[in-house]
Each structure stands twice: as C-alpha cells, then as structure tokens.
Amino acid sequence: MNQQQVHQHRRHKRLIDKKVQGQFLTVLVLIEVAIFAIGMFVIYQEMHAAVESNLYRVHQIADDGRPLLIMAMLMIIPWVIGINIILLIIAARIWQRNIQVIVTDLQDILSRVKQLDLRGYHIHAEHHEVLQKADRWFEVERERYHRLHVEAVDLPSGLEQISTEQTTEIRNRLITIRNILPGH
C-alpha cells in the first residue's frame, strides 16, 4: 500500500457540534488566559513583597531570588490544576447532556422506524445536523413506505380467478414494488 492509499483509509475527525465545541473552546481559552493572568499577578505580588521586605536591609546574603519565584509558582500551580480539573468536569457534564439529548431523539426516530410507525414526526430538540439527517432519512422512508402501500393496495385480491391481463398488471406492480425497495 502506498502512502496515499494509507491516508485515504484513515479516520477523519469530525466535530459533532461545531457551535457547542466552538463555544467550549472559546470559554476554556478565555478562562485559561484569566487563570494565567491571575497567577502572574499573584507571583508579581509575591515578588514585590519580597523586594519591599528586603529593600532596606544592609546586611543581606547575596541571593538571586529564584527560591522566592519557585515558592510563588509552587503556590499557584495547585490552584491552576484544581481549577482546570473542575472546569473539565463541568465541560464534560455539559457535553454529556448535549449528546444525551441528541441520542435520545435519534433513538426515538429509530424505534419508530423499527416499529414501522412512519406517521409524521417532528424532532422536539434543537435541530442538530445528525438529527436533521435522520429526519430527512425518516421522510424518505415514509415516502417509500407510502408508495409501497399504494402499489400493494392496488393488487387484485382473489388469486384463484386471475385473468391474463391481470397477471400482466400484477407482474408490472410487483416490478414497481421491487424497484421501490432499497438496493434495487
């Protein structure tokens, strides 16, 4: 297999909901920027306090300030990690609720088709690309079932007394029914 064939068989990542995922990404980036800015401000305040406390000392051991910076960073890192974990849990719950609404509506459509309940149906949840595709498929199947029903109802009953012209008509109707069925 050459390189181009390998790339053709790879799974392509697709966004499930560009709007929701875009909002999540925007909010998470803004929160990360805010966390970083607050962390830098706290580190600045710690360093400023250290400089102020040592500014007028005459006898001071020469120190480059790295331990103070490391201590300030070690104080900030657990907060950043904790806030990120909380945000990820909240984002996962929101995302799970969004997916659950879509899956519930999709399961409703599929169970209706499985039971051959092809009456008019309207999706109650906000329109999502997956649900819109399922709704279009449902409408196509409903129209196909209706055409099959029309053809089957027009078949003559009482097969014992069929004339030659009725046999031709039955054959034509059965060919039409076969053409309506999927895969033909």
Q: Where are the domains of the chain?
A: 14-115
Number of alpha carbons in the 13 Å side-chain half-sphere of residue 137: 12
Please identify which residue in the block is written with the tokens 């950043």.
80
64 against 98, higher pLDDT? 98
CA atoms of 124 and 116, how far apart (whole Å): 20
In the chain, count H helices and then E strands: 5, 0
Question: Can you give the pLDDT at residue 156?
Answer: 66
**DSSP per position, 126-157:** PP-HHHHHHHHHHHHHHHHHHHHHHHHHTSPS
9 against 144, higher pLDDT? 144
Buried b (16+ CB within 10 A) or exposed e, 145-176: eeeeeebeeeeeeeeeeeeeeeeeeeeebeee
pTM (two decimals): 0.57
20-24, 57-61, 104-108: the lowest-pLDDT one:
57-61
- Give residue-wise pLDDT tens across range 101-116: 888 888 888 888 777 7
CA atoms of 53 and 73, how far apart (whole Å): 19
Question: What is the rounded average pLDDT of the residues 65-89?
Answer: 84
Question: What is the rounded average pLDDT of the residues 2-18?
Answer: 60
